[in-house]
Structure 1
Amino acid sequence: MAPIVAIGLHLVALLGGAAFVLQQAANANLRGALGSPFWAGLTNFLAGGLALSLVLIAIREPIPSLQVVTRAPWFAWFGGCLGALYIIGIILLLPRLGAATVVALFMVGQILTSLAFDHFGLLGAPIREVGLPRLIGASLMVAGVGLICVF
């Protein structure tokens, strides 16, 4: 991969992280306005579904056939349910713990789970051995999150 492409992809990932925090703050505010984390979560998914629908229309993406849809593994269908759990969890936790603590704790959960997925190739993830450098990096992240959560 060309260095400029790699830099661009890393910047997109950083922007995704910023969007994640903005989304969580927006959802927490929506919860306050609607009085329910569940209505806020549903609104989040409906708005996201509408946005994706508009993108699909704009790029003229064809609807997958039933044959294509049925080839997905059984666990692929749980993504939306896990996304709902994720969104509701953050909506409930952010007002109580603060944005930095919630995002940091979720990030550590993501890092540790990702390392397991990489190392063991879980659910079809490509195997990438977890060596000492990655373990040290994860340990430093856990320590950093500990500092964020304590102070």
Structure 2
Amino acid sequence: MSLLENAIFCVFLCLIGGIATASQGVFNAELGKYSGQGLSSTIVFATGALASMVYWLIEVQGRPPANLTLMLTKAPWWAWTGGVIGAVFVIIIILTIPKLGAGTCSAIIVCAQLIFSCVIDHFQLFGIPAYRQYTIWRGLATASLIGSVAVIAKY
């Protein structure tokens, strides 16, 4: 059994991802103070691209698949927008954390992320195969999220 088939390990990875995301915003905003906001975003993506390349080379063991170009041409147009969306995210974080604080920014982002993720699940957007209806329980959870954001932002 692969580690990624273990739900507990996947939860652990998600916790690390959450900590990394919260830290990343603060680190990016701090770098923006010294380099300027635009250059900060560029540095973040350059170092991220390098780290991703190292991971990819480990994953493919230094030998890219022979049909890589063919596979990439089959990707839908919107699959290519992840880098742009990531840049928008990083730039927004760099601009807003100094004004609102890490907790408020993270709360708003996580709230928006969860609500839109529920919409994606409900309407099976972007090729998501699993249908998860936006039930009354998810609606109540959404209301709770919005209330939580309000409390975090106020206090």
Post-superposition offset of 1:11: 2.0
- Taking only the aligned residue pairs, the percentage that are identical comes to 32
Post-superposition offset of 1:8: 2.4
Query: Within the alignment, does 1:50 sit opposite 2:50 as a pair?
Result: yes
Match of 1:16 in 2: 17
Q: Show CA shifts across 1:84-128 (max 9, x none).
A: 111100100000100000000111110111111010011112321
Aligned match for 2:118, one of 115, 120, 139: 115
Match of 1:40 in 2: 40
Aligned match for 1:79, one of 78, 82, 91: 82
TM-score computed with the length of structure 1 as normaliser: 0.90
Aligned match for 2:64, one of 62, 65, 81: 62
Q: Show CA shifts across 1:46-82 (max 9, x none).
A: 0011111122223425155221110000111111111
Q: Residue type matched to 2:134 in 1?
A: V
Q: How far apart, in 2, do the equivalents of 1:57 and 1:117 lie?
A: 31
Q: How far apart, in 1, do the equivalents of 2:73 and 2:57 lie?
A: 23
Query: Within the alignment, does 1:27 sit opposite 2:28 as a pair?
Result: yes
4+ residue runs over 4 A deviation:
none
Unpaired runs of at least 5, structure 1: none
State the aligned residue count. 147
Query: Within the alignment, does 1:92 sit opposite 2:115 as a pair?
Result: no
Q: Residue type matched to 1:28 in 2?
A: A
Aligned match for 2:132, one of 109, 122, 128: 128
Aligned match for 1:147, one of 129, 148, 151: 151
Unpaired runs of at least 5, structure 2: none
Q: How far apart, in 1, do the equivalents of 2:54 and 2:68 lie?
A: 20
Q: Residue type matched to 1:74 in 2?
A: W
TM-score computed with the length of structure 2 as normaliser: 0.88
Q: How far apart, in 2, do the equivalents of 1:76 and 1:125 lie?
A: 12
Match of 1:105 in 2: 108
> Aligned Cα RMSD in Å?
1.6
Distance 1:49 1:139, change over 3 A: same
Distance 1:57 1:5, change over 3 A: closer
